[in-house]
């Protein structure tokens, strides 16, 4: 009989308990919690709509945003470059965006040019050449993993047309305002979102893109209407290659000498390598511990704010890395070319 697959929270706790090369440091956990509390108190960070100020996307609380987010998060992976200053970038309205923001800018740019990139009827038959043209970088280079992105767009289009009458909105409606049910629907129906692995004989899951899709919907709708998920706390942080940098920067995670040397040598890990899963699992568990630590802080009531859950802590850490990118270049990150993050 095959082992039971653990959800991301259970997976993270298990991985942290058997980790050999990544250690979670309680002092660092407290440091992160204190920094979040300080940033909230000073209004430097407000747990409000994560999307509205930072993402180059149409901020409308309607069905069109659901389809927009689905395409963005179906393609939300692997934007890094071997050279620190050569990451994937796209210009929109005179502003240069990098990484995931560049993907968002490319989607918006396409829509403004009359290309219906968020319509499943369009991308189910999209050509590789069209994908390349839509997501071409400012330097004229193709987006990383172009073939995979082309395949995923077509696959998602076929599934939406066959199962959800061509709209991810219908999948969201089926979730009946449950974040967990929506996560399960995404993972069950869309193979490219099945971000899983095996460590010490146990099946573990991370579901970075599936969880961030749920959280993005929750965020853009401010926890209301289509984003009204009664169980949003069932979602963990989104285990990628950037948030661990911030956790290591604050001392919440510590790498072994062997792992640190591998990271500093630009070693290319494979998705499913033990070291990679330890980094990702311990990142998720660290954020769970930070969330618990934050309960000891008394925040002023902010009626218009969203709660400080794992998704919001992830956003703080991810945004911190972007704001202090130069300072954090000294912290190496793990490099993997895969479709999951």
pLDDT in tens, 217-271: 998 888 899 999 999 999 999 999 999 999 999 999 999 999 999 999 999 999 9
C-alpha 309/C-alpha 291 separation (Å) is 7
Q: What is the pTM of this model?
A: 0.93
91: tokens are 């210009």
pLDDT for 322: 86
The torsion angle over the Cα atoms of residues 279, 89, 46 and 321, rounded to 10 degrees, is 40
Helical H runs in 42-98? 63-74
C-alpha 216/C-alpha 236 separation (Å) is 13
pLDDT in tens, 81-129: 877 777 899 999 999 999 999 999 999 999 999 999 999 999 999 999 9
Distances (CA, A) of 14 to 56, 143, 205: 37, 35, 11
Distances (CA, A) of 122 to 126, 134, 191, 232, 266: 6, 13, 20, 32, 38
- Tokens 């696959």: give the residue: 155
Give residue 302's pLDDT band: very low, low, confident or very high (50, 70, 90). very low
pLDDT for 300: 55
pLDDT in tens, 35-85: 999 998 888 887 764 555 566 766 678 899 999 999 999 999 999 987 777
Lowest mean pLDDT among 50-54, 136-140, 317-321: 50-54
pLDDT for 2: 55
Catalytic option among 195, 216, 240, 314:
240
Helical H runs in 124-268? 128-134, 146-163, 168-174, 179-189, 208-220, 243-249, 257-264
Known catalytic residue at 240: yes
């Amino acid at each position: 009989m095959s082992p039971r697959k653990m959800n991301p929270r259970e997976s993270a706790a298990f991985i942290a308990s058997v980790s050999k090369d990544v250690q979670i440091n309680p002092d660092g956990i407290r440091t992160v919690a204190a920094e979040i509390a300080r940033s909230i108190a000073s209004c430097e960070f407000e747990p409000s709509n994560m999307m509205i100020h930072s993402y180059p996307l149409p901020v409308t609380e309607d069905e069109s945003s659901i389809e927009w987010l689905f395409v963005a998060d179906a393609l939300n992976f692997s934007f890094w470059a071997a050279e620190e200053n050569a990451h994937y970038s796209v210009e929109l309205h005179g502003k240069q965006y990098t990484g995931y923001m560049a993907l968002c800018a490319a989607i918006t740019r396409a829509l403004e040019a009359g290309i219906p990139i968020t319509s499943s009827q369009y991308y189910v038959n999209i050509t590789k050449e069209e994908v390349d043209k839509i997501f071409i970088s400012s330097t004229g280079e193709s987006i990383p993993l172009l073939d995979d992105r082309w395949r995923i767009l077509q696959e998602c289009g076929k599934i939406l047309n066959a199962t959800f009458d061509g709209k991810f909105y219908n999948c969201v409606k089926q979730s009946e305002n449950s974040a967990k049910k929506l996560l399960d629907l995404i993972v069950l129906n869309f193979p490219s979102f099945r971000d899983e692995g095996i460590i010490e004989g146990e099946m573990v899951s991370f579901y970075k893109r599936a969880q961030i899709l749920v959280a993005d919907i929750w965020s853009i709708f401010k926890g209301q209407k289509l984003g009204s998920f009664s169980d949003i706390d069932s979602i963990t942080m989104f285990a990628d290659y950037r948030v661990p940098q911030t956790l290591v920067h604050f001392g919440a995670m510590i790498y072994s000498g062997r792992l640190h040397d591998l990271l500093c040598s630009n070693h290319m890990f494979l998705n499913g390598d033990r070291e990679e899963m330890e980094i990702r699992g311990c990142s998720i568990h660290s954020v769970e511990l930070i969330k618990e630590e934050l309960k000891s802080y008394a925040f002023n009531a902010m009626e218009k704010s969203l709660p400080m859950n794992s998704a919001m802590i992830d956003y703080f850490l991810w945004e911190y890395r972007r704001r202090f990118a130069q300072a954090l270049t000294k912290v190496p990150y793990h490099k993997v070319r895969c479709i999951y993050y």
